[in-house]
Amino acid sequence: MFTATSLNAQLARAQADHLRVLVVGAGVAGLTLAQALRAGGLHPVLVERAADHADDGYMLALMPLVEPVLRQAGARDAYRARSVRFHRYVLHGRHGQRLREYAIDSLLSRYGEYRGIARGELMQALADEGAAVSYATTLQALRQTPEAAHVVLREGDSTHEAVFDAVVLADGLHSSSRELLLPAQQVSTFDCGWGGWVAWMDSDAAHADRGDEIWGSDFFVGVYPVKGRAGVFVGGHRDDTRAGPQAFVAHIRSQLRHVDDWLLRALESVAESGDTSYYWKLTDIRSATWAVQRTVLLGDAAAGFVPTAGIGAGMAMESAGVLARQLLAADRAGVPVALHDYERVQRPRVESAQDNSRALTKLMCRRSPTLAAVRDVVARFVTLKAALGPIRKLLDSASEV
């Protein structure tokens, strides 16, 4: 369970550690790192700018590459209890017609299981053994010397000065702390111009392990399994979605000639959620440098992902595991080298996965009936082995890190 803890209490515990670590951001990456460090005997100070962890967020499909860090953090059993097996994937064409069904496990089973989970459930699984967090707390200033990182943290109306051996910035795609480390020109942005809404609906036995996607001529619909529910994403160009979810869903339905009740329910869940549903802009960022002296970027703060390849959260968690192992093996003097080694090993893997996500996004984010028709024809002949090629390459090389 998450435990709201005063910053002073966390700072006091950290001072006795052989390595004093500050983690800024208690999202997926930051929480995974903090829990892995705690399992290794440290007391990292974990701060979060939000007031709590109440938001369920969105759905995640996690590849087997998350298994090592979940075991490292002592959260594997809780994760499996809160997630479901993602076994089948059904691809639909521009008019809703079924093109192909894939059994994903047939090519991933030797690595582990592909599982679906709500973001909020993943956070609870990671915090199952207890997770101290100082909420409503932000990093205000950062000054580094060869010996230490000196920071100023704001908790509510109070400020605290503290000294750490390592500072990890994991406060997301729109990180407010990243600018304290890197100039703006070292952070590039990719924006395909699309966005969409996230909604939830009840699942049933027939769809408990199945994901569906419709790639339309100017829209996208995805339905993904999580425990007891299904997460729905409906997106299109932001010029088109500006009319709101009800109007955009009506636009999609006008193009569908073959669609089953399951997908109609998914569209209705978005239309009924109205403007209160979470709107996800399909953008990402890439930081040219991750590690500077005793401070390092992690997760979306280092390299954010558009969700098209379903790999962003998994790569953030894998990165957290690699970073945790580097820090747990380091002494205070060796932190800069440990952070450099983490970046050297992990950044090429993450950027390769990010490139794959961007390529899929460019294929999906089009407003062309002709291209959609061509995609429908080609998709009938794409084997699962070819579709999962980049993912299998990442999994095959995971033992190297």
Question: Tens digit of pLDDT per residue, the chain (401 long)?
Answer: 899 999 999 999 999 999 999 999 999 999 999 999 999 999 999 999 998 876 667 899 999 999 999 999 999 999 999 999 999 999 999 999 999 999 987 777 788 889 999 999 999 999 998 999 999 999 999 999 999 999 999 999 999 999 999 999 999 999 999 999 999 999 999 999 999 999 999 999 999 999 999 999 999 999 999 999 999 999 999 999 999 999 999 999 999 998 899 999 999 999 998 777 789 899 999 999 999 999 999 999 999 999 877 899 999 999 999 999 999 999 999 999 999 999 999 999 999 999 999 998 888 888 999 988 998 898 888 776 777 777 778 877 864 44
Neighbouring residues of 213: CB distance < 8 A, sequence distance ≥ 6: 89, 90, 91, 92, 220, 221, 222, 223
Name the token pair of 170: 């994991």
Q: Where are the beta strands (DSSP E) in 252-373?
A: 278-287, 291-292, 295-297
* Confidence at residue 360, expressed as pLDDT on a 0 to 100 scale: 87
Whether residue 167 contacts residue 24, with contact meaning beta carbons closer than 8 Å, is answered with: yes
* Confidence at residue 364, expressed as pLDDT on a 0 to 100 scale: 85
* Confidence at residue 384, expressed as pLDDT on a 0 to 100 scale: 66
Of 210, 23, 48, 226, whose CA–CA distance to 120 is shortest?
Answer: 226
* Confidence at residue 56, expressed as pLDDT on a 0 to 100 scale: 64
Whether residue 123 contacts residue 28, with contact meaning beta carbons closer than 8 Å, is answered with: yes
Residue 6 CB coordination number (10 Å):
14
d(CA 68, CA 76): 9
Neighbouring residues of 364: CB distance < 8 A, sequence distance ≥ 6: 194, 215, 220, 308
* Confidence at residue 109, expressed as pLDDT on a 0 to 100 scale: 78
Q: Give the distance, in angstroms, between the CA of residue 224 and the centroid of all CA atoms in the same chain.
A: 15
Whether residue 156 contacts residue 31, with contact meaning beta carbons closer than 8 Å, is answered with: no
d(CA 222, CA 91): 10
Q: Where are the domains of the chain?
A: 2-86+113-188+285-363
d(CA 360, CA 64): 21
DSSP letter string, 68-106: HHHHHTT-HHHHHHH-EE--EEEEE-TTS-EEEEEETHH
* Confidence at residue 53, expressed as pLDDT on a 0 to 100 scale: 77
If you average pLDDT over every residue of the chain, what do you get?
93
Whether residue 23 contacts residue 30, with contact meaning beta carbons closer than 8 Å, is answered with: yes
**How many residues are present in the chain?**
401
d(CA 79, CA 95): 36
Residue 254 CB coordination number (10 Å):
7
Residue 296 CB coordination number (10 Å):
28
Adjacent-strand bridge partners of 199: 232
Residue 3 class from Cβ within 10 Å (0-12 exposed, 13-18 middle, 19+ buried)? exposed
d(CA 55, CA 141): 28
CATH of domain 2-86+113-188+285-363: 3.50.50.60
d(CA 270, CA 230): 12
User: CA–CA distance from 15 to each of 12, 43, 160, 329, 336 (Å)?
Assistant: 6, 9, 14, 18, 19
Would you say the pTM of this structure is higher than 0.85?
Answer: yes
Q: At 274, which amino acid appears?
A: G
d(CA 54, CA 63): 25
Neighbouring residues of 197: CB distance < 8 A, sequence distance ≥ 6: 233, 234, 235, 241, 245, 270, 273, 277, 278, 279, 280
* Confidence at residue 401, expressed as pLDDT on a 0 to 100 scale: 46
- Residue appearing with tokens 């967020």: 57
Dihedral sign from CA coordinates of 348, 354, 358, 363: positive
Dihedral sign from CA coordinates of 249, 250, 255, 257: positive
